[in-house]
Amino acid sequence: MKRNLKKDQIIMTVIIGLVCIVFFAVMFMQFKTIEETDITAIENMRETELRAAISEWKGKYEETQALLEENQKSIQEYQDKIEKNEETSELVDQDLADSNMKLGKTDVIGEGITLNITDSDVAPITAYDLLYLVNELHYAGAEAISINGVRVLSSTYISEPQEGLILIDGSRITSPFVVKAIGNQTYLSSTLSLKDTGFIDKYKASGIQIELETGRNIQIPKYNGETQIKYMEEVEE
């Protein structure tokens, strides 16, 4: 797209140059014609001939003026097209940046919360507990989540193939767990702190230590794995 913009700018520059050349060439020929016309001949012209000559010069001037206005209109159309293409390019770039953030392809920063969770010997954290927490964060409007530095996407698979072995998309994580979420910090913290049903109240009762912190500059790394699309495809219009 940037190549097309550059091409359009070159075309517009060439057109402006040609318009200037044509305009000045025509004006030069007009003045040259007047200059080369013998003054005595003009004086000896009959009134009707003089009127005809003036009418002819006026006609040439109006033709030149019309040509100039037509080319100015063309130039304006090219300028509008280039500006529109630039705006479109900016929108495409912004959409691409937004998509990359949502897909976890870039590091992100924003307001949100940090949860520091430490296992208890009596009731250790399981893969199910972390999945429950992730769903609760999504419900509260989290836009990005990470657990122990591993980015969690909608397609992330949290599993526990054997007791005490928790995997996030194949990466092993252990206690203490540091869970970060970017979103409205008030909504996130309030949802997790709901009495009896919120994650914090529910799991603290099991002896698990949980510390909640809010912040304006929560940083979450990009997803390091590969995302694969197996079943969906774009609808052709």
Which tens digit of pLDDT belongs to each residue from 177-227? 999 999 999 999 999 998 878 899 888 888 899 999 999 999 999 998 776
Regarding pTM above 0.75, the answer is: no
Q: What is the per-residue pLDDT across 163-174, written as a single tens digit (0 to 9) for each?
A: 889 999 989 999
Q: Can you give the pLDDT at residue 59?
A: 66
Fill in the amino acid letter for 79: Q
Q: Can you give the pLDDT at residue 233?
A: 76
Would you say domain 108-220 falls under CATH 3.30.70.1880?
Answer: yes
Q: What is the per-residue pLDDT across 21-44, written as a single tens digit (0 to 9) for each?
A: 555 454 545 544 444 444 555 555
Task: Supply φ then ψ for residue 51, to 5 degrees.
Answer: -60, -40
Fill in the amino acid letter for 61: Y
Q: Can you give the pLDDT at residue 104?
A: 80
CB burial of 169-206 (b: ≥16 within 10 Å; e: otherwise) equals beeebeeebebbbbbbbeebbebbeeeeebbbebbeee
Q: Can you give the pLDDT at residue 212?
A: 95
Q: Which residues contact 204 (CB under 8 A, 6 or more apart)?
A: 210
Sheet strands (E) in the chain: 108-118, 144-147, 150-152, 158-162, 165-168, 171-173, 177-182, 209-220
- Two tokens at 52? 């005809």
Q: Can you give the pLDDT at residue 12?
A: 53
| C-beta of residue 117 within 8 angstroms of C-beta of residue 179 | yes
Q: Given a cut of 70, is residue 228 above it in pLDDT? A: no
Strands 209-220 and 150-152 turn out to be: unpaired
Q: What is the per-residue pLDDT across 120-171, written as a single tens digit (0 to 9) for each?
A: 878 889 999 999 999 999 999 999 999 999 999 988 899 999 988 999 998 9
Mean pLDDT score, 66-79: 70
